[in-house]
Chain A
C-alpha cells in the first residue's frame, strides 16, 4: 500500500495457506480495472461526488497542509488522499459491481479515517462499526446493512475471529494494517481477505466517481425498541446540506484545528471530519484516554473548534480543569447530544473567552444537528428553562412544527416534527418503523415530516425548548438508548417476568448510566445477568446494578412506575 504504514499479521488458528502470488494478483486486478474503469487523472469537476467532494477539493488546494493528526502521526492532505485511494481502488477492483454500502470496523486510527474516505471514494456509503461494541451487536449491524465489503483497522483485529463466523454471506475483508492474511484465509475460507500487500496502488487514482444525491452517504445504527439496532440511512443530499450550512455559519477556514472526539458510530463524528476537510482545516483525533478530560489536549493542540457532548464539561468542571481563559484559541465550542446546563455553558464560556458557544440539537434522522442556540452571557441565563439551554431555532431552510397527540399543530407544547433537505426519508429496510415516524400532514401531502418523539415548548419568539421524551427513549452520555432494548436483553438473561431499566443517575436532564430492576423470579445471579448484557449491549447500555424486587410498583394506569423506581434509587 502506498502509504507505507507499518503492518502486522493476525494470528488466529489453523494452518497457513500461501496467498496468491503477488504478480498474479496484480495482473488480474489491473486487467479488470483497465477493462472496467479508466485510471484517468482527468476527473471532471461537474460530476456529483456527494459527501467526499469537500475533502477532494481541499486535497487539490492544500496538497501538503496537514489534514489529520492521529495516533502519533501527522498526515497531509496528499498522504490521507493516497491512503484513502488505495482502499477505494481495492474496493472497486475486488467488488466492482457490488452492493452500494461498505462497512468499516476501526477506531481512532489512520485506517479509520482513510477507510471512511476510501469507501466514499469508491462511490459507496459507509457503515461505521465500533471495535468497542460487543461482537454480537457488530455482527447484527453488519448483517442488517447488507455490506459485502469490510475494512478493518489493527485495533479491531482481536474481534475478527469471533465476528467472521457470525456472518452468513461471503465478505471481502480489506486489511490495510495487516501484511499477511494467509492465516485468516485458511481459518475462514468463506470470506476473502486482502492484506496490505495485496491492496491496489492508491497513487494515480483520480476519484473519478459520480454518486446520486439520493444515494446513501452513511448508514448508522441507533438503539431500537424491539431489541434490534435500527438503521438510519443519511443521503448525500442530506449531509451536503448540513456541511454547506455549517461551514458558512462558522466561517471555517484552512487555519482551523478541529477536535475529533466522537466515535464514528455517533453521527456527530461526521461533522468533525467533513466540516473540517471541507475547507482544508486539520482534524485532531482525541486519543481514547484524553477524551474523558481533554483540557490538556485542547491547549497542547491549540484547537480552534471544539465539539462534544455536554458531559465533558461536567467532568472538566468537577476536576477544576475549566479555569477562566484556559482555552484562548477556541473560536467555536459546540455541544450536542444531550441537554446543556446553563451553568456549564457559562463555565465553558469563561474558560474559552474568545469562543462562541453554541448548543446544537438534532436526531440522527435529521443529519447531525438541525437547530442551534448561541450562548450570550448577558441574556441567555434569563432565556433558559429549568436551568437548561434552549435548543433554539432551526437552521435556515429547515422546518419544524409542534403537534399534539392527534398530530394537529399547537402553539406551545407538543411533539417536535422536522422537515427539510437534511431530513432522511425512512429507516433501513424497516417499513413499519418508517411509517410510524415519517408522516405527511393533510394540508400539505408533499412534505415528509419526521416525528422526533421529543417533547418541546415553543417560546413566543419561536425559540424551542427541549422538555423530554414522549416515549422511553433516553440519552445516556449523549447516546440515544431505547430502554426496551435493554429490557429485552435483561428478560432473556434473568428469565424474570418483569424487568425495568431506569436511567440513573440523572443530572441536569442527562443520564450517566442505567440501573435495572427484576421481579418474578425467586433469585438472581447478578454477575451472570450483567455478563449476558455485556455480550449483547454496548458499554453505556449495560446496567450498573441489578435490584431484585418482590413486586415492581405500578402507577394508576397499571403500568410499571418508573418514577417510583427512580425514587427508590434516590433512597438507596
Chain B
C-alpha cells in the first residue's frame, strides 16, 4: 500500500482478499461491498478476520491498534479500513 492510498483503494484491497480467502461454501458472487459485515455474512470466522488484519498490516506496514475499537466496527469492511487509516495517521 502506498501512503497515498485512499479509503476506496483500501476497501478494494480488502474485498479482493476476502474473495480469495473467504470460508468454503460461502460464495460471495461479487456482492461484497464496503458495508459487508464479514462475520455476520459468514464469509470469515474469527480466525479469518485475524488473518485479514495481518494481511492489511503487511500491506500497509503499520500496526492496527484494536485496543479501544468496538468489534462491531472492525467486522465491517469499511470500518476495518477506517481503523487502518486512523492508525496510519497516528
Contact = CB atoms under 8 A, between A and B. Distances in A.
Interface of A: 287-293, 295-296, 315, 318-321, 323, 512-513, 526-527, 530-531, 533-534, 539, 542-545
A544 B22 CA distance: 10
Contact of A527 (B25, B39, B47, B75): B25
B63 interface: yes
B31 interface: no
Given A288-B39, A527-B25, A320 B63 contact: yes
23 contacts: A288-B39, A289-B39, A289-B72, A290-B71, A292-B39, A292-B49, A292-B50, A292-B71, A293-B46, A296-B66, A318-B50, A318-B54, A319-B50, A319-B66, A320-B65, A321-B66, A321-B67, A512-B47, A530-B24, A542-B25, A543-B24, A544-B23, A545-B24
Interface range for B: 20 to 34
Contacts of A318: 50, 54
A383 B25 CA distance: 43
B33 interface: no
The secondary-structure label for the interface of chain B is: loop
B45 interface: yes
Contacts of A531: 25
A289 B23 contact: no
Given A527-B27, A531-B25, A534-B25, A295 B67 contact: yes
A542 B23 CA distance: 10
B75 A289 contact: yes
B69 interface: yes
B25 A296 contact: no
Contacts of A315: 46-47, 50
Interface in B14-67: 23-25, 27, 39, 45-47, 49-50, 53-54, 63, 65-67
A296 B70 CA distance: 8
Contacts of B65: 320
Contacts of B39: 288-289, 292
B34 to A, nearest CB: 18
A534 B75 CA distance: 22
A291 B67 CA distance: 14
A318 B49 CA distance: 12
Contacts of B27: 527
